[in-house]
Amino acid sequence: MLDNLKESCGVFGVYAPGEDVSRITFFGIFALQHRGQESAGIATADGGKLNLHTRMGLVSQVFEEDDLERLKGHIAIGHTRYSTTGSSRIINAQPILVKGPWGPMALAHNGNIVNAMELRADLERQGAEFQTTTDSEAIAWMIAFAPGKTWQERLRYAMARIKGAYSLTILTPDTLIGVRDPLGVRPLCFGRLNGGWVIASETCALEHLGAQVERDVRPGEVLIIDSQGLQTFNGATSERRAGCVFELIYFARPDSRIDGNLVYQSRETMGARLAIEHPVEADIVTGIPDSAVAAGLGYARQANIPYSQVLTKNRYVGRTFIQPDQRLRDLGVRLKFNTLPEIIKGKRVVLVDDSIVRGTTTPHIVSILRKAGAAEVHMRVCAPPIRWSCHFGVDMATRSELIAAQKSVEEIRVKIGADSLGYLSVDGLAASVGGDDKTTFCNACFTGRYPIPVQLELDKFALETV
């Protein structure tokens, strides 16, 4: 895994009178750190006013004890962000604060919507004063300006107009709101904590807090939590679902459950299917840590070849330390992975990874294994060839940068220097995650079949992805 590509964001929310909600949120977004390492923020409400603290950096760097003390109240939301290189600015950190006719509101967004430009033009005419170029701000103003007497009416109005991927936590002076878009692209779940409620991108965040996981927020569902308790309703409907299959392949933590899939098990099954689709004579199987370890184990078990963890990752080499220029990016792989020549020497190795995107990481890892004496290196990949860019929240690079949009599988094999290369098929992937791509998942990055129409040139004018 390399730092030139970006992860999705993490969102969190808690409603818990009498509890230290800023600290709960700190630990919640700390558990979602893998979803975004560029900036972090928390907003709290005490029934009257909103407090906000955002800063660039990792969650543990962003908040001092004093900051958490200042963030008073009984409701809080939090966000961890990872964005495109050009937008690595504090102004784009979330939660975002806006003020509409119904009062102030803070919002945290994970996803990417496809009609932000249109919405923005309309909202500016209505008087919204945009501070950033993010699509998240367009969502915030859309909700803040939505007509209606209740949050239910306003959210239905806004959700009918916002198109794309949005898992949201929203804070008003006295209410916590959770929203998942009708396609269900990004994950969102909720649970109970000490008589209160928590909402998070992934179940791992709830479990670290000792919360009792209730269930996933359903596609199109809205949760409203206030002094009356929890109320849920359907804010918008869609004929299909489009859960991002890349969450299961790479993004989410293996211990999270998304829409009924334990991520670890999905990855193990992908690995086992890879072994059926692309068998090879070999001595050891290894998965590239951390995201491909479960898939490597699945491959090894199915193929009946021993698994050896011959790559070790330095977990502390984060984006913070590596600037996006090619020389440092190359060094990044060296700094990130080390290997075990004593175990590898003379062996035929099956190397399992979750994905090849630009094709920067793989040649380096193949070469590290060869230098350590591997007799053969057979690359196996859980994600089918990635040929289309994502418009729903994964900053996957533009089409021109995607190696599989430019080269055939054989050309990629030559470029990465492997003895053989096998990708999981689109059908094999769908079967691994228990769904069919037409009704359950979004797999547009492999097929170009987007769940809703997108402007393919959006890349050029992109609003920033979160």
80-112 core/surface letters (b: 16 or more CB in 10 A; e: else): bbbbbeebbeeebbbbbbbebebebbbbbbbbb
Taking the complex as a whole, how short is the minimal distance between the CB of residue 355 and ligand AMP, in angstroms?
4
Choosing from 9, 204, 382, 442, which is the catalytic residue? 9
> Considering beta carbons, is residue 359 or 434 the nearer one to ligand AMP?
359
Assess contact for 141 and 100: CB atoms under 8 A: yes
Assess contact for 295 and 354: CB atoms under 8 A: yes
- The tokens describing 175, both together, are 């209410």
Taking the complex as a whole, how short is the minimal distance between the CB of residue 381 and ligand AMP, in angstroms?
9
Taking the complex as a whole, how short is the minimal distance between the CB of residue 52 and ligand AMP, in angstroms?
27
Taking the complex as a whole, how short is the minimal distance between the CB of residue 413 and ligand AMP, in angstroms?
14
Taking the complex as a whole, how short is the minimal distance between the CB of residue 147 and ligand AMP, in angstroms?
37
Helices (H), 51-134: 59-62, 65-70, 116-125
The contact set with ligand AMP (CB under 6 A) reads: 1-2, 5-7, 250, 288, 291, 353-362, 394, 396
Taking the complex as a whole, how short is the minimal distance between the CB of residue 243 and ligand AMP, in angstroms?
16
Distance (Å, whole) CA 112 – CA 246: 14
- The tokens describing 114, both together, are 């496809």
> Considering beta carbons, is residue 151 or 250 the nearer one to ligand AMP?
250
| Dihedral sign computed on CA atoms, order 414, 415, 419, 422 | negative
How do 50-56 and 75-81 pair as beta strands? Answer: unpaired
238-258 core/surface letters (b: 16 or more CB in 10 A; e: else): eeebbbbbbbbbbbbbbebbb
> Considering beta carbons, is residue 160 or 414 the nearer one to ligand AMP?
414
Assess contact for 353 and 288: CB atoms under 8 A: yes
Whether 390 is catalytic: no
Assess contact for 350 and 378: CB atoms under 8 A: yes
Distance (Å, whole) CA 445 – CA 450: 8
Exposure of 431 in the CB half-sphere (CA atoms within 13 A): 11
Taking the complex as a whole, how short is the minimal distance between the CB of residue 359 and ligand AMP, in angstroms?
5
Place of tokens 């590509």: 5
> Considering beta carbons, is residue 199 or 365 the nearer one to ligand AMP?
365
Taking the complex as a whole, how short is the minimal distance between the CB of residue 27 and ligand AMP, in angstroms?
24
Q: Is 427 helix (H, G, I), strand (E, B) or coil?
A: helix
154-183 core/surface letters (b: 16 or more CB in 10 A; e: else): bbbbbbeebbbbbbbbbbbbbbbbbbbbbb
Distance (Å, whole) CA 70 – CA 31: 22
Residue type at position 427: D
- Residue 343 DSSP symbol: H
Taking the complex as a whole, how short is the minimal distance between the CB of residue 397 and ligand AMP, in angstroms?
7
Q: What residues does 229 pair with on adjacent strands?
A: 226
> Considering beta carbons, is residue 212 or 408 the nearer one to ligand AMP?
408
> Considering beta carbons, is residue 189 or 357 the nearer one to ligand AMP?
357
Phi-psi region of 304 (alpha: psi -120 to 50; beta: other; left: phi over 0): left
> Considering beta carbons, is residue 213 or 356 the nearer one to ligand AMP?
356
> Considering beta carbons, is residue 9 or 77 the nearer one to ligand AMP?
9
> Considering beta carbons, is residue 62 or 333 the nearer one to ligand AMP?
333
Vertex 238: Cα angle to 232 and 241 (nearest 5): 95
Distance (Å, whole) CA 123 – CA 237: 24
Q: Catalytic site residues? A: 9
